[in-house]
Amino acid sequence: MNEKKIQKKIDDLWNGLSAAIDRISSSENDLIAKAEEILMETDAAVRQLKTVLRQYEFQDWSSEIHFFKVIKPKFVSVYIYYARVLAIEASKPYADGIVLRSYYENERSGLLYFYNEHRDFISYYRRKSTYLDQKYFVRFRFDFKLKLSPELYSYDEEFSTSHDHLVSQIMANDLLDRFLTNKIDPAENHDVASTETKTLEWTAPKVALIELLYALHQTRCFNGGQLDLAELFRWAENAMQVNLGNYHKTLGEIRLRKNERTKFLAMLHSSFSTHLDDLDA
């Protein structure tokens, strides 16, 4: 199975899981029942993701790293998050507000242990570093000089790397922190959307985003065409946690392309057209 078909299967899996979570979250059931149902849906999705992976052989390290650093943790973090929500809500005391607040504060303080225990890797991940990715996110390359999870010994080596689970935990704990903060101080309205993380992360090449932003600016898509180009790029960098560097220089490099100048826009057109054709089939 080629990479395009694999990506479509993964996208369909994620969209299906997101729709299921939205449906369950809007039901009349209590939070415990919702969490249990979402866990079953997520477990099924992760199992299907594992089956999809068996049908594909990575062409290079970069595609394998992307799968285990970005794709798999997105699914597994949902499972970890709702498993923790279920455990917290099922064990909470039937008590007054002060006791409950103390209970949630204690659960939240427990997150600090994880952050302290793995602060070096968390710093590496949050800074979007890549120099150790081949050690962290490629299978069968465990470096026992690195700090490894004790559970690693029982992991499925075909479906795990040494650190992809830690990424899942970071993502889940970020959501859990917001959930607990909302429980501690509901007036602050720290609601957590069912499948969202704190930020969107641009994971395609930076030059692709620069190409897209220039095209959107030229077609006057924002504020009736009154938005300054620099403001648009600052917004994109803040919203997607990416440093686009000297985008004027990058535009010059795009202009010098010999074949297709607007590679990313052409790919978007082709990909979406194919998707529409698939829907019509």
Task: Tell me which amino acid residue 77 is.
Answer: S
CB 195 within 8 A of CB 172: no
Mean pLDDT of 2-14: 82
Pick from 5-14, 75-84, 135-144, 164-173: least confident: 135-144
Alpha carbons 147 and 162: distance in angstroms, whole number:
9
Residue 192 pLDDT class (50, 70, 90 cuts): very low
pLDDT at 96: 80
Alpha carbons 162 and 141: distance in angstroms, whole number:
8
CB 236 within 8 A of CB 213: yes
Alpha carbons 102 and 135: distance in angstroms, whole number:
40
Alpha carbons 207 and 251: distance in angstroms, whole number:
9
∠ CA 39-40-45 to the nearest 5 degrees? 95
pLDDT, tens digit (0-9, with 9 covering 90-100), for 30-59: 999 999 999 999 999 999 999 988 887 888
- pLDDT at 78 > cutoff 90: yes
pLDDT, tens digit (0-9, with 9 covering 90-100), for 222-268: 887 778 888 888 888 877 878 888 888 899 999 998 888 999 999 99
Q: How high is the mean pLDDT of the chain?
A: 84
Please give the span between the terminal C-alpha atoms of the chain, in angstroms, as a whole number.
19
